[in-house]
Amino acid sequence: MKTDSLLYTSLNNELKSHAIGVNTAELHGFLSGILAGGNHDESWRVLVDDMMNDGKPMANSLSKLITELYHQAKQQLNNDDFEFQLFIRDDELFAQIDDLVGWINHFLLGLGLAQPQLAKVKGDIGEAIYDLRQITQLGYDEDDDQEELAFALEEILEYVRMTVILCHDEFTERDQSTTIH
């Protein structure tokens, strides 16, 4: 499933017009990190305002778009059909790679805010988080074979997508199991 480029562009333009220092992919990564970290209450709004807008509430028009993006990600993550998708551009290859790096960095930020003890997580989740950090360090050269890069990007996107679902399942189950007595 490809990203809706019209929605991506309109949200990106809205973010720019309100001088918010992230793009759509980074915002989606941040929201996805919060959700994957097990945070499903309304505190996500405060985190977005704090991290993206110096603690000030977002403009109403932008807030509505961000809320839509949040609910879309939440619905996809809660769906048992693994339909969650990263919201990145679907056009030029190098733009996609840049979006992916920004998405992962902001995902890790959101995940860390939702799971403050993230550095202590071991096992498959700990390894996957380590892998995400390593992916953000990967570089490319514009002279690299575009076909090979495109193939590698698809593989990495799928790995990241499954890591997000794995984190969501792990942290959501853990949070729910601690409240049931």
Listed by start position, the domains of the chain span 5-179
Mean pLDDT of 74-103: 91
Mean pLDDT of 158-179: 80
Say how far residue 86 (Cα) sits from the centre of its chain. 7
Mean pLDDT of 156-175: 89
Mean pLDDT of 69-82: 91
- In this predicted structure, the answer to whether residue 150 has a pLDDT above a threshold of 70 is yes
Q: Which of 85, 94, 109 is nearest to 161 (CA)?
A: 85
- Could you give the CA distance from residue 55 to residue 63 in angstroms, rounded to a whole number? 13
| pLDDT bucket at 10, cuts 50 / 70 / 90 | confident
Residue corresponding to tokens 């809706």: 4
- In this predicted structure, the answer to whether residue 180 has a pLDDT above a threshold of 60 is no
Amino acid (one-letter) located at 56: K
Q: State the pLDDT at residue 181.
A: 35
- Could you give the CA distance from residue 103 to residue 105 in angstroms, rounded to a whole number? 6
Q: How many CB atoms lie within 10 A of CB 44?
A: 22
Q: State the pLDDT at residue 140.
A: 83
Q: State the pLDDT at residue 1.
A: 41
Q: Which two tokens stand for residue 106?
A: 């902001």
Mean pLDDT of the chain: 90
| pLDDT bucket at 18, cuts 50 / 70 / 90 | very high
Domain 5-179 is found in CATH 3.40.1160.10: no
| pLDDT bucket at 110, cuts 50 / 70 / 90 | very high
Residue corresponding to tokens 């932008």: 62
- In this predicted structure, the answer to whether residue 30 has a pLDDT above a threshold of 90 is yes
Q: State the pLDDT at residue 60.
A: 93
| pLDDT bucket at 173, cuts 50 / 70 / 90 | low
